[in-house]
Structure 1
Amino acid sequence: MPTHIQLATDLLRNAAKFFKDVGEQNPDLADQMSTNAAAFDRVALLLETDPTGVFVEPEDTPE
Protein backbone atom coordinates (compact mmCIF):
# COMPACT_ATOMS: atom_id res chain seq x y z
CA MET A 1 0.00 0.00 0.00
CA PRO A 2 1.58 3.33 -1.03
CA THR A 3 2.13 6.14 1.43
CA HIS A 4 0.73 9.64 0.94
CA ILE A 5 4.19 10.80 -0.12
CA GLN A 6 4.43 8.04 -2.72
CA LEU A 7 0.99 8.93 -4.09
CA ALA A 8 1.88 12.62 -4.22
CA THR A 9 5.20 12.05 -5.96
CA ASP A 10 3.56 9.72 -8.49
CA LEU A 11 0.90 12.33 -9.24
CA LEU A 12 3.52 15.06 -9.61
CA ARG A 13 5.68 12.95 -11.92
CA ASN A 14 2.65 12.00 -14.02
CA ALA A 15 1.74 15.68 -14.32
CA ALA A 16 5.32 16.45 -15.37
CA LYS A 17 5.11 13.77 -18.06
CA PHE A 18 1.82 15.25 -19.25
CA PHE A 19 3.42 18.69 -19.61
CA LYS A 20 6.39 17.20 -21.47
CA ASP A 21 4.04 15.36 -23.84
CA VAL A 22 2.00 18.51 -24.52
CA GLY A 23 5.19 20.45 -25.22
CA GLU A 24 6.42 17.80 -27.65
CA GLN A 25 3.13 17.91 -29.55
CA ASN A 26 2.83 21.70 -29.58
CA PRO A 27 6.10 23.55 -30.28
CA ASP A 28 4.49 26.92 -29.47
CA LEU A 29 3.99 25.75 -25.88
CA ALA A 30 7.21 23.75 -25.54
CA ASP A 31 9.12 26.26 -23.40
CA GLN A 32 6.27 26.81 -20.94
CA MET A 33 5.48 23.10 -20.72
CA SER A 34 9.14 22.31 -20.10
CA THR A 35 9.20 24.86 -17.27
CA ASN A 36 6.04 23.36 -15.78
CA ALA A 37 7.41 19.83 -16.04
CA ALA A 38 10.66 20.83 -14.34
CA ALA A 39 8.75 22.43 -11.47
CA PHE A 40 6.61 19.34 -10.90
CA ASP A 41 9.66 17.05 -11.09
CA ARG A 42 11.51 19.27 -8.60
CA VAL A 43 8.66 19.23 -6.07
CA ALA A 44 8.41 15.44 -6.40
CA LEU A 45 12.12 15.19 -5.62
CA LEU A 46 11.75 17.53 -2.64
CA LEU A 47 8.92 15.38 -1.26
CA GLU A 48 10.96 12.21 -1.64
CA THR A 49 14.15 13.56 -0.12
CA ASP A 50 12.74 15.83 2.60
CA PRO A 51 8.97 15.33 3.05
CA THR A 52 8.70 17.62 6.08
CA GLY A 53 11.10 20.28 4.84
CA VAL A 54 10.27 23.94 4.36
CA PHE A 55 10.26 25.27 0.81
CA VAL A 56 12.67 28.14 0.24
CA GLU A 57 11.94 30.07 -2.93
CA PRO A 58 15.00 31.05 -4.98
CA GLU A 59 15.79 34.76 -4.84
CA ASP A 60 15.72 35.21 -8.62
CA THR A 61 12.14 33.92 -8.96
CA PRO A 62 9.71 36.53 -10.32
CA GLU A 63 6.64 37.15 -8.18
Structure 2
Amino acid sequence: TEAALLASIGAPRLRRLGFDVPSPFMDPEHRLYSCLARSAPDTAHSRYNSLVRRLVSFERAWPCAR
Protein backbone atom coordinates (compact mmCIF):
# COMPACT_ATOMS: atom_id res chain seq x y z
CA THR A 1 0.00 0.00 0.00
CA GLU A 2 1.01 3.63 -0.28
CA ALA A 3 1.23 3.86 3.51
CA ALA A 4 3.50 0.81 3.76
CA LEU A 5 5.83 2.17 1.11
CA LEU A 6 5.93 5.56 2.81
CA ALA A 7 6.74 3.92 6.15
CA SER A 8 9.46 1.99 4.37
CA ILE A 9 10.96 5.22 3.04
CA GLY A 10 11.05 6.61 6.56
CA ALA A 11 12.06 3.36 8.28
CA PRO A 12 15.62 4.33 9.27
CA ARG A 13 14.60 7.56 10.95
CA LEU A 14 11.40 6.11 12.39
CA ARG A 15 13.47 3.37 14.04
CA ARG A 16 15.80 5.97 15.54
CA LEU A 17 12.70 7.69 16.93
CA GLY A 18 11.67 4.46 18.66
CA PHE A 19 9.09 3.05 16.27
CA ASP A 20 9.06 -0.66 15.52
CA VAL A 21 9.17 -0.59 11.72
CA PRO A 22 9.68 -3.76 9.68
CA SER A 23 12.57 -4.09 7.27
CA PRO A 24 12.16 -1.66 4.41
CA PHE A 25 11.01 -2.72 0.97
CA MET A 26 13.53 -2.69 -1.82
CA ASP A 27 13.49 0.66 -3.65
CA PRO A 28 10.46 2.09 -1.82
CA GLU A 29 10.76 5.55 -3.40
CA HIS A 30 10.38 4.26 -6.94
CA ARG A 31 7.73 1.75 -5.94
CA LEU A 32 5.65 4.45 -4.26
CA TYR A 33 5.92 6.73 -7.28
CA SER A 34 4.96 3.87 -9.60
CA CYS A 35 1.97 3.04 -7.43
CA LEU A 36 0.82 6.65 -7.50
CA ALA A 37 1.41 6.92 -11.25
CA ARG A 38 -0.71 3.85 -11.93
CA SER A 39 -3.71 5.27 -10.12
CA ALA A 40 -3.40 8.90 -11.29
CA PRO A 41 -0.49 9.62 -13.64
CA ASP A 42 -1.21 13.33 -13.96
CA THR A 43 -0.89 13.97 -10.23
CA ALA A 44 1.69 11.36 -9.22
CA HIS A 45 4.56 13.80 -8.80
CA SER A 46 2.69 16.24 -6.58
CA ARG A 47 1.09 13.44 -4.55
CA TYR A 48 4.49 11.80 -4.04
CA ASN A 49 6.02 15.07 -2.85
CA SER A 50 3.06 15.72 -0.57
CA LEU A 51 3.35 12.30 1.07
CA VAL A 52 7.09 12.66 1.61
CA ARG A 53 6.61 16.15 3.08
CA ARG A 54 4.01 14.75 5.47
CA LEU A 55 6.41 11.98 6.52
CA VAL A 56 9.25 14.44 7.12
CA SER A 57 6.93 16.73 9.06
CA PHE A 58 5.91 13.84 11.31
CA GLU A 59 9.52 12.78 11.84
CA ARG A 60 10.50 16.30 12.84
CA ALA A 61 7.49 16.88 15.09
CA TRP A 62 7.62 13.58 16.96
CA PRO A 63 10.50 14.48 19.32
CA CYS A 64 8.67 17.67 20.32
CA ALA A 65 5.43 15.80 21.02
CA ARG A 66 6.99 13.31 23.40
Q: TM-score, normalised by structure 2?
A: 0.40
More helix by share: 2
Choose 1 or 2 for highest CA Rg: 1
